[in-house]
Amino acid sequence: MSFRARLEADETLFTAWSAIPDPLVAEALARSAYDLVTLDMQHGGHTTESILRGVGAVTLAGKPAIVRIPVGANDTASRALDFGASAVIAPMVNSLEDATAFVAAMKFPPVGERSWGPARTMMLHRIADMPGYLHTANRDTLAIAMVETRAALAVLDPVLALEGIDGVFVGPSDFSIALSDGARIDPVDAEMLKAAEDVAKRARAAGKFACVFAMSALSAARYRDMGFQLIAVNSDYGCLAAGAASFLEGLN
């Protein structure tokens, strides 16, 4: 079953979060129990080169790959799809214009303006039919806009109504900073959690996917209960730190 089909079947999927720009790390995450792997170019160390190789490593390990692009880097969104990514997350989508520009890069006409050049993704996913890919790519590759500011929250409904936006992704840390007017960073802040739950409900009501980042399994379970369907759980740095702590626990 495809990534999109699993979400449409109302499964909850958990994605690893790769900040370390080495395809071996991405492959190791893909071979773990995570359902997907997200490669982060915004705050992680990933580059165009590491995305090209990392998406391949994840896909060949049998898992879908997602790419989070840098702010406003819509040209990179198109390249990530050409490299084989199943979805792209765009940060700081704070206006309908931002969302429209993102869609333009993500979707082929008539929905968007994506340029043709999917040789790598067709090879990676064993697709031989070019017309078939043209007619299925807009549905099968997901455009996910981040909600992490007051401005994004204010335009949430128009963004959700936009053809070509498949889902929204809540960034709890930035959202907590925005909602507190810069007073605090707290990914489990009560006001932020209430707003996040509202985002999930509005996304689901609009027929779009609700996605979020969780720092821990406890937070991930809470978000699952709120209706989020795609949940990132910690990062590769966090996994390494937690694993080291677990192995060394009780030795001191």
Instruction: Give the other-Cβ count within 10 Å of 219's Cβ.
Output: 19
Q: Exposed, middle or buried, 111 (CB in 10 Å: 0-12/13-18/19+)?
A: middle
Phi, psi dihedral angles at 167 (to 5 degrees) = -170, 175
Q: Which residues are catalytic?
A: 43
Residue-by-residue DSSP string for 153-214: HHTHHHHHHSTT--EEEE-HHHHHHHHTTTS---TT-HHHHHHHHHHHHHHHHTT-EEEEEE
Q: Tokens 């401005």 identify what position?
A: 151
Phi, psi dihedral angles at 67 (to 5 degrees) = -125, 130
Q: Exposed, middle or buried, 178 (CB in 10 Å: 0-12/13-18/19+)?
A: buried
Q: For residues 132-144, b (16+ Cβ closer than 10 Å) or e, as one string?
A: ebeeebbeebbbb
